[in-house]
């Protein structure tokens, strides 16, 4: 799990995990106070729709502690979020008590959801969104990406683009016979990327690190390829991208 070094508290972690002058995490920056082991992580989910719910259920089944951030306390919590290992709390509480945060809102809701959190404290923020506009087009691309925009909206987080290139059916079950669907994770902090790879592996994906956050400029169009094949070209949702090796 994500652990603080002995003798360090969360205030120390928050002070150390601040972005550089550019507002972005420097690639490969040593973190020092956080490491990934094989234990349970506390995961806060921002966006508790189909993607967030599917990821949360899978990660809870893998042994992690999942809390869904619920933005409107006046609305009832859906029954499908009340699975045996999940909890529901206000968004700030779900984020504050987490080791790692998952962003799975619709793109149009991402800015408001992120800017409502004043300090992510250097936590890994796994960005599952795609900046899709009208007509299944990308609102960011070529020289920018949704992942990089998410980092600008959440400068105190360590953003990792992951879980954005396939549908929720594959998140629920990425196995295809003897093979597993591939999942790529990119970000500007190696330790945060390792968290994304670890959680994707826990779900059953063949997960690989995929370089710096600017490589989200490649992963987001890759998501549109999957969407086009599934929704326009008649392939349906029962397929995934994978890696074949000789």
CA dist 37 and 67 (Å) reads: 20
Question: Residue 105: which domain range?
Answer: 38-231
CATH number of the CATH domain containing 85 = 3.40.50.720
pLDDT digits (tens, 9 = 90+) for 222-239: 999 999 999 999 999 999
Within a domain: 70: yes
Count how many domains the chain has: 1
Within a domain: 227: yes
Question: Which residues, at least 6 apart from 125, have a Cβ–Cβ distance to it below 8 Å?
Answer: 100, 101, 102, 103, 150, 154, 157, 158, 159, 160, 192
pLDDT digits (tens, 9 = 90+) for 156-198: 999 999 999 999 999 999 999 999 999 999 999 999 999 999 9
Within a domain: 240: no
Within a domain: 43: yes
Within a domain: 178: yes
Residue 151 has pLDDT above 60, yes or no: yes
CA dist 129 and 145 (Å) reads: 11
Residue 19 has pLDDT above 90, yes or no: no
Q: 64 near 198, Cβ under 8 Å?
A: no
Within a domain: 30: no
């Amino acid at each position: 799990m994500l652990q603080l070094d002995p003798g360090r508290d969360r205030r120390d972690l928050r002070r150390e995990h601040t972005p550089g002058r550019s507002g972005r995490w420097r690639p490969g920056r040593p973190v020092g106070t956080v490491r990934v082991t094989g234990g349970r992580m506390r995961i806060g989910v921002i966006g508790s729709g189909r993607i967030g719910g599917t990821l949360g259920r899978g990660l809870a089944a893998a042994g992690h502690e999942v809390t869904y951030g619920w933005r409107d306390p006046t609305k009832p919590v859906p029954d499908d979020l009340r699975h045996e290992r999940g909890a529901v709390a206000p968004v700030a509480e779900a984020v504050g008590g987490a080791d790692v945060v998952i962003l799975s809102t619709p793109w149009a809701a991402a800015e408001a959801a992120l800017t409502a959190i004043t300090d992510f404290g250097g936590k890994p923020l796994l960005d599952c969104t795609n900046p899709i506009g009208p007509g299944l087009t990308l609102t960011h691309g070529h020289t920018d990406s949704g992942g990089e925009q998410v980092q600008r909206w959440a400068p105190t987080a360590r953003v990792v683009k992951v879980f954005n290139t396939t549908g929720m059916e594959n998140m629920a079950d990425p196995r295809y016979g003897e093979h597993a669907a591939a999942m790529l994770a990119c970000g500007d902090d190696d330790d945060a990327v390792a968290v994304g790879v670890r959680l994707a592996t826990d779900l059953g994906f063949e997960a690989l690190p995929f370089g710096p956050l600017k490589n989200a400029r490649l992963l987001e169009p890759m998501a549109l390829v999957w969407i086009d094949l599934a929704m326009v070209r008649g392939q349906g949702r029962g397929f995934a991208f994978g890696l074949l090796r000789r």
